Amino acid sequence: MRQPVEVLPCDASQLDLGLGTKVKDFEDMLQYQCAKAGGCDVIVTNNKRDFHQFCDVPVLTSEEFLLTFEYKQKQ
């Protein structure tokens, strides 16, 4: 499972971009900024609801991601 997953760093530029927003959950904004900087295809979280107010990257729960991953592996 680790092979198709890339863990991204969070640096000062993502922190600065996150600080300049009015999103209620700062950690979600940091995840989003890291995903954007890293060119991610998807964000995996069990807290999808908060991302809808600002996120233009697809957001999946861990269960949705695993089902998608399993489906792609079978093809």
User: How high is the pLDDT of residue 73?
Assistant: 63
User: How high is the pLDDT of residue 71?
Assistant: 63
Amino acid, single-letter form, for residue 32 = Y
SS3 content of the chain, % helix, strand, coil (to 5): 50, 5, 45
Q: Is the pLDDT of residue 1 over 70?
A: no
User: How high is the pLDDT of residue 21?
Assistant: 85
User: How high is the pLDDT of residue 60?
Assistant: 95
Query: For 11-65, how does the pLDDT look when each residue is reduced to its tens digit (9 = 90+)?
Result: 999 998 888 788 888 899 999 999 999 999 899 999 898 898 899 999 999 999 8
Q: Give pTM, 2 decimals.
A: 0.77
Domain boundaries, the chain: 12-74
Helix H or strand E encompassing 49 = helix 48-51
